[in-house]
Structure 1
Amino acid sequence: MNKYTGRIMIVSLAVFILFIWNIYDYYFVSHSIHWMLRSILYIIILAVVWKFGAYFDRSKLLIKQLSESQRRYKNLLDETKMVLDNIQEVVFQTDGEGNFIYLNPAWTAVTGYKRAESLYSSFYHYLPFEEKSKVKTTLMDYTYSKSQEGRLETTYRKKSGGEFFADVHFKMYYDQDGYLIGTVGTIHDITERKLAEQEWRELNEHLALKSQKLSIAGQLAAGIAHEVRNPLTSINGFLQLIKNEFPEKDTYFNIIFEEIKRIELVLSEMLVLSKPQAIHFKEKNVITILDQVAALIESNATLNNIQLVKELPEDEILVDCDENQLKQVFINLIKNAIEAMPNGGNITLSCCVKGSSVIVSITDEGIGIPKEKISKLGEPFFSTKDKGTGLGLTVCLRIIKDHYGHINVTSHTDEGTTFEVVLPVMNHRSLLEPV
């Protein structure tokens, strides 16, 4: 009904005027116009008035639609402004010369420059000197090829004097003659990602260097073991013959044979380092393995005035492992703990499950390891002991790595050291679960 309001009002007004005119003509003019002609004239007048009313209604509707469009446009502008004001990425627009003609508030948050001082200045102004030539060449290539969009990574200067890495993604607009008339795009701060990539590269380089060292150490160890073991066997045999001729020198010969055994032990460790051992995985209870290791090492601990304290759960904790290799690891770590306690004390052997891992802890009350040496533990031929080779822990680390686990070390000088062997657990029953 609203779209006919104007027409109805105008026609009603026209009918009223015609009615007054008709009365006037009837009483004062004495029927100057024949009634048929008068009717035709009324119809024509009403038709014209209706037509003008239609124009009025149409213009009123257009004005209302225009007003609604303006309202929607304003709402759209407000929403767009709100998005641009709150987005964390820098949104920019430049003219054909590369001067900023729009910057959202994120520009100030990221660079420190106020938008008012940055507008109508060239974006080249905010690039480090060494980056300008590279960026200019890239943009020229995009422009010559009439690319519609582009992307580049560069660094931007901050007002405070620092710099940040940026990923710039932009669209390029050209006129009908192919000339660049402007760009619009975003600047995303990727400093954290770049630093993470740099740390990752450094870590990979460190691991590659460490792997190379280990490989060289293995080759060297194999060569030394091969060259030394054969003459050592001959020396050991001849010393046995000589010992029989000088029974009064047994004490000296026993010392020599002990040292030869020590050399053979070092050679065995070197061969283990140089030649990977086959691993036969089986489902084993780590608690049983620890009990057996404790039984083997307990007499050695007692001789050194050391008490081996076991804090092991009664429930099974199953791991997929090579039992003999795990025993080798635990024996080696406990022996290291014994050697780190010249004055005796306690060694605590504990085990627990955290999440999907089992953690075996070996804690001593020894002299501890300085912080600067902890990071070097496991490197071939590095040892905190005066007569150590450093190969024992290297072999342990490799075995645990082959079992998809890792070893953590915490130590405090003159207080003690804790080695944590972390392995993936296959199946366990919580200690809180009722039996």
Structure 2
Amino acid sequence: MKYTGRIVSLLTGLLLIITWDFIYYFVLHYPVDLKVDMVFTILILFISYYMGKSYDISHTTLAALRTSEERVKLLNEEMQHVLQSIDEVVFHTNAKGEFQFLNQSWEEFTGYTVKESLHKNALHFISLHERHEILRLVRQSIGLHREKTRMDIPYQKRDGQFRWGEVNIKLNYNGNGELLGTVGTISDITERVHNEEELMEMNETLAIESQKLSVAGQLAAGIAHEVRNPLTSINGFLQLLRDEADEKTKEYLGIVFSEIKRIELVLSELLILAKPQSVTYKRINIIETLDHVSKLLNTNAILYNIEIQTEFHERELYIRGDENQLKQVFINLIKNAIEAMPHGGTITIHADFNSHNKVQLMFKDEGVGMKKETLDKLGEPFFTTKTKGTGLGLTICLRILRDHGADIRVQSEQGEGTTFHIMFDGVQSSERKKREVLQR
């Protein structure tokens, strides 16, 4: 009860007064003095009340203090549970940089136990090579009285494994601006650093490839300019010589003319690669384009005992592009497939529309296939496995597909054939839109 102390104290005072009066008047037979009795009684009751009140207040205060202690203990346990449960390392250091607190994640991050790491300097766990740079950054932050600083540091785990950590530090100062200590977190960013390194390597590779294409374009323009004009003159004079030559010389000149045509072919492909072509992007039905190309090359395929099969699940698959350029790509891919199948076989052309609004094309042959080394160099300017190839046909195809925003993937196993997968952004037909609305 709230007033327990006061009640007990007053009852005790009354008992004391009654006992005193009994002894004073009935045992010792002193005369009754009401004034003295009244003052004595009031004084005893007053003292008893305030003693009881003091007891009640102190009892309430102690109860509240015990409740607060329990709450603080509970909050501390919850805080410890949270700190020990999070994946990041949480640390606290004094002004000297010695660890005063580390959560359990420290052991997973470094391989060192929390017990053996406490009261050791944080720099102890960093390599000597990095230690000076980190110390310089920390001192610079302290000198500028920064409250926060961040740094990426490499460190070595106990088992010798190298990792990367992102350290976020909060610096605490006293009223005089002197460092009291730090609190902070450490996050494992090893995977992110490795991904960034891979991305940089990829960008460097792309830059090299772009530079190669740029050089190829410059070479093409230079070769076309320097070679085509004198080649025309040579071709004209050789025509005059052939008219007056004997049969043996005509035979030799025939070989020369054949090689001149080959030079002109190389020059034409170089010019295509070097000069930007005028293109007109419009909505086209890729099925019609593939039908046209397959029929065009079917006669040539039959001569090599090759069958061109088409697998079109729909008759309308629309994309935006330049039909003439895409025909050039498809013709090149099919011709390459025919040349890769000296003993005959089947070329399969597949087209479909997927759920991601993409038009998927597949050109599959049963030819000799390619080694991994050849596959890695596919599309590089002037790289070819053909005895009479220029090494520019597939380069031009890849440039056209890139200009159309298409994704291309090549699968090939030596002796098992090659498959080209091409994916365009699709443009839905009105019939497809109606069907999808009805299905919903």
TM-score (norm 2): 0.90
2:228 is matched with 229
Superposition pairs of residues 38-57 of structure 1, within 5 angstroms: 38-57=37-56
156-165 or 42-51, larger mean C-alpha shift: 42-51
2:285 is matched with 285
Q: Does 1:125 align with 2:124?
A: yes
- Residue 311 of structure 2 aligns with an amino acid whose one-letter code is E
2:64 is matched with 65
1:414 is matched with 415
1:360 is matched with 361
In the superposition, relative to structure 1, how do residues 45 and 244 fare at CA in structure 2: closer, same or farther (>3 Å)?
A: same
Q: Secondary structure at the match of 1:425?
A: strand
Q: Matches of 2:187 and 2:88 in 1, distance apart?
A: 5
Deviation at 1:240, TM superposition (A): 4.3
Deviation at 1:229, TM superposition (A): 2.0
In the superposition, relative to structure 1, how do residues 32 and 415 fare at CA in structure 2: closer, same or farther (>3 Å)?
A: same
1:328 is matched with 328
CA contact (8 A) 1:359 1:421 kept: yes
Superposition pairs of residues 190-201 of structure 1, within 5 angstroms: 190-201=189-200
CA contact (8 A) 2:351 2:359 kept: yes
1:89 is matched with 88
Deviation at 1:291, TM superposition (A): 0.6
- Residue 272 of structure 1 aligns with an amino acid whose one-letter code is I
In the superposition, relative to structure 1, how do residues 188 and 173 fare at CA in structure 2: closer, same or farther (>3 Å)?
A: same
Q: Does 1:313 align with 2:313?
A: yes
- Residue 298 of structure 1 aligns with an amino acid whose one-letter code is N
Q: Matches of 2:326 and 2:97 in 1, distance apart?
A: 66
In the superposition, relative to structure 1, how do residues 247 and 315 fare at CA in structure 2: closer, same or farther (>3 Å)?
A: farther
2:10 is matched with 11
Q: Matches of 2:224 and 2:273 in 1, distance apart?
A: 11
Deviation at 1:118, TM superposition (A): 1.6
CA contact (8 A) 2:174 2:180 kept: yes
- Residue 221 of structure 1 aligns with an amino acid whose one-letter code is A
In the superposition, relative to structure 1, how do residues 32 and 325 fare at CA in structure 2: closer, same or farther (>3 Å)?
A: farther
Q: Matches of 1:323 and 1:247 in 2, distance apart?
A: 48
In the superposition, relative to structure 1, how do residues 24 and 63 fare at CA in structure 2: closer, same or farther (>3 Å)?
A: same
TM-score (norm 1): 0.91
In the superposition, relative to structure 1, how do residues 33 and 267 fare at CA in structure 2: closer, same or farther (>3 Å)?
A: farther
Deviation at 1:20, TM superposition (A): 5.3
Q: Secondary structure at the match of 2:3?
A: helix
Aligned residue pairs total 433
Deviation at 1:264, TM superposition (A): 2.4
CA contact (8 A) 1:369 1:384 kept: no
1:187 is matched with 186
Deviation at 1:62, TM superposition (A): 1.1
Q: Structure 2: give runs of 5+ residues left out of the alignment.
A: none
2:344 is matched with 344
Percent identity reads: 46
In the superposition, relative to structure 1, how do residues 247 and 41 fare at CA in structure 2: closer, same or farther (>3 Å)?
A: farther
Q: Matches of 2:17 and 2:263 in 1, distance apart?
A: 133
1:426 is matched with 427
Deviation at 1:143, TM superposition (A): 2.4
Q: Structure 1: give runs of 5+ residues left out of the alignment.
A: none
In the superposition, relative to structure 1, how do residues 156 and 314 fare at CA in structure 2: closer, same or farther (>3 Å)?
A: closer
1:267 is matched with 267
Deviation at 1:44, TM superposition (A): 3.5
Q: Matches of 1:292 and 1:28 in 2, distance apart?
A: 137
CA contact (8 A) 1:89 1:189 kept: yes
Deviation at 1:278, TM superposition (A): 2.8
Deviation at 1:32, TM superposition (A): 4.0
Q: Matches of 2:256 and 2:349 in 1, distance apart?
A: 35
Deviation digits for residues 197-239 of structure 1, max 9, x if unmatched?
1111111111111111110111001111222222333334444
Q: Secondary structure at the match of 2:283?
A: strand
